[in-house]
Amino acid sequence: MQGCPVLEIDLDKITANAERVVAKCWEKGIEVLGVTKGFSAMQQIVGAMLAGGIEGLADARMENIVELRKQNFQNPITLLRIPRLSNVNNVVQYADTSINSEVAVIRALAAAALQLGKRHNIMLMVDVGDLREGIMQENVLDTVRQIGGLPGVNFIGIGTNMGCFGGILPSVNNLGLLVELGLAVERQLGHRLEVISGGGTSTLLLVESDLIPAGINQLRIGEGILLGTDTTNNRGIPWLYQDAFRLRAEVIEVKDKPSVPIGEVGKDAFGNTPQFIDAGIRKRAILALGKQDVYIEGIFPLEGKAKILGASSDHTIVDITDAGQELAVGDELVFGLTYPGLLSASDSRYVEKRFKGGKIL
């Protein structure tokens, strides 16, 4: 793949981040599931997570889970997207646990588990404000009644999602409500729940601040371990590495050009009407990197004051007038990535993946 954009992956930094997250959460009695969807469950990165003390894995894509099983990863795996009714057999066959909010799907999972001679773990998702998946709070006890006695499945606990749709931050109040609902379920069932899952990376701030409600005993962490960032709280996590991933793209043109295109403006190749600010003549680099390679809005140049001006399918145009170094054709520009940028780069067959450190599997 010579000449392709390159995603550099530092496995040792991912392992170190995993170790730190696991240790921080363990102090509060919280298990960490390592979320693998952000890097398409590449086995080298999964190995780095496991080396850092992660035991349970989690992914939203059945394709990734199936591939992990084919690679002989025996760790418990949770499916993080509500199962499709049409795919319950695969879910039971390959995932130990799934998150759920529809009784009809849970019943189908139970039937599939009986047919396959398995038992499948069910975590019931509860909506405490973000309005993505989950049953409403007033329906929790009735839903538990409907699924509690189903053969083929184990109802192991409740969980919630925070920040991914509505941007709602985890708090003492909303996670405290989840714990209270868990206690109500326990009273109804007459036994303790195995899991009360309090969200993902955005909940780490409550752990750090010693504000996490007692009773939350699981978090599902991807972004924090991979990038050391917490998008929902708009911060870099100071005790984690933020540079485990870097994207490199080659410069294929350098020219001084006007900052405003010349002629009548129509739509660009993606149907948008571009707008430009006249900043005079600027030095611009074109990169062998485009929207077909990566989500451009999810990357940012690390070189001085270089600025992405825009991109087409195959090219990214960067203003390098104020960059910290002279760039010429054949040089590379290096980018950091946000979580959406990492999602797209990891999944792109046009981006070479290059690993360093760790134990290459």
- Rounded distance between C-alpha atoms, residue 271 and residue 121, angstroms: 46
Quickly list H helices, 71-139.
88-94, 103-116
In angstroms, the CA 76 to CA 165 distance is 27
The closest alpha carbon to 321, from 274, 279, 287, belongs to: 279
Tell me, what amino acid is at 237? I
Catalytic residue, from 13, 24, 37, 353: name it.
Answer: 37
Q: What is the torsional sign of CA 53, 58, 64, 68? A: positive
The yes-or-no answer on residue 24 being catalytic is: no
For residue 136, the cross-strand partners are 127
> Rounded to whole angstroms, how far apart are CA atoms 345 and 185?
42
Query: What are the residue ranges of helices labelled H in the chain?
Result: 11-26, 43-51, 62-70, 88-94, 103-116, 140-147, 172-189, 204-208, 223-227, 339-347
Answer whether 182's CB lies under 8 Å from 157's CB: yes
Catalytic residues: 37
